[in-house]
Amino acid sequence: MPARPRVIVTRKLPDAIETRMRELFDTRLNHDDKPMDSAALAEAMREAEVLVPTVTDRLDAKLIDAAGAQLKLIANFGNGVDNIDVKAALARGITVTNTPGVLTEDTADMTMALILAVPRRLVEGVKALETDQFHGWSPSWMLGHRLWGKRLGIVGMGRIGQALARRAKAFGLQIHYHNRKPVADDIARELEATYWDSLDQMLARMDIVSINCPHTPATYHLISARRLKMMKPSAYIVNTARGEIIDEEALTQLLETGGLAGAGLDVFENEPRVDPRLLRLRNVVLLPHMGSATIEGRLDMGEKVIINIKSFVDGHRPPNRVVPAMV
């Protein structure tokens, strides 16, 4: 690969990152920041030596198979790689990298914000002020639920799950979690966390459930209609991971009928479309996929992308190479 490879970036990145990429590489940017359709992506993949996609770009096996022979690296601007058929890329001799670790604290902050917002009815309170429904303090108006002493069940105890647990513990929540395997003993002691081998049993006993696992074929609709019905009607569910992990249709029905007390959702199953029924519900706090949206986080992501590309161009193994075991 040449010292200044042709790099095509599919979305608008922070100015500092774009400037540095232009300095280092033969870079083509997306100044309009409009998501590429499949035809535009196919053209980019025919021309690029390095492609820098984001979560909004679906690189399936068909697109990857039609890529130009010169495409040797897909440097994903994002932590997850569920938008890329990694196995198809590797079969074509294309290396895939991502940007892990930089969004942990930001996503945990937003998850904790939703855990606070939903039971305490923060958004309802704001709307009450905006619509002139506030007529002074009342002992029985806008009552929510206390967090202290409640059970929080974390689905996925990786970096983000652990960062969330540290925050939640400070608010007096009891920490429970389900994971492929228990965390190290010292982490479990620090967090005073209880491991549940059975997701079903944990869900049935929690007051709040937070989804913090990656989206993979194995976690698609992991929180299925059956599992949602196991939760207590007084329970809340929060999702800042991926919308596809929850059966959104079943969740919406339960929220409409009182089968669940409420939900905080930063991600949706059919993004960017949001089910209109969710928008009408008062017991739901909805955010536009902004859990990782901090300036610091985006800059850190961009720096990791640049390091991955530079390492690859220099003939070294990129530090954030995605291998099949990770997918």
Q: Catalytic residues, which ones? A: 242, 271, 289
CA angle, residues 294, 147, 226, in degrees to nearest 5: 85
Task: Please choose, from the candidates 300, 269, 265, the residue with its C-alpha nearest in 3D space to the C-alpha of residue 286.
Answer: 265
HSE toward the beta carbon, residue 246, CA cutoff 13 A: 28
Phi/psi-derived region of residue 121, left when phi > 0, alpha when psi is between -120 and 50, beta in every other case: left
Q: Tell me the C-alpha distance between 210 and 14, whole Å.
A: 30
User: Counting every residue, how long is the chain?
Assistant: 327
- Helix residue ranges, H only, 208-247: 225-230
- Helix residue ranges, H only, the chain: 15-24, 38-47, 61-65, 86-91, 104-117, 122-130, 159-170, 185-191, 199-205, 225-230, 248-257, 276-280, 295-313
Task: Please choose, from the candidates 94, 161, 101, 97, the residue with its C-alpha nearest in 3D space to the C-alpha of residue 327.
Answer: 97
Q: Tell me the C-alpha distance between 59 and 62, whole Å.
A: 8
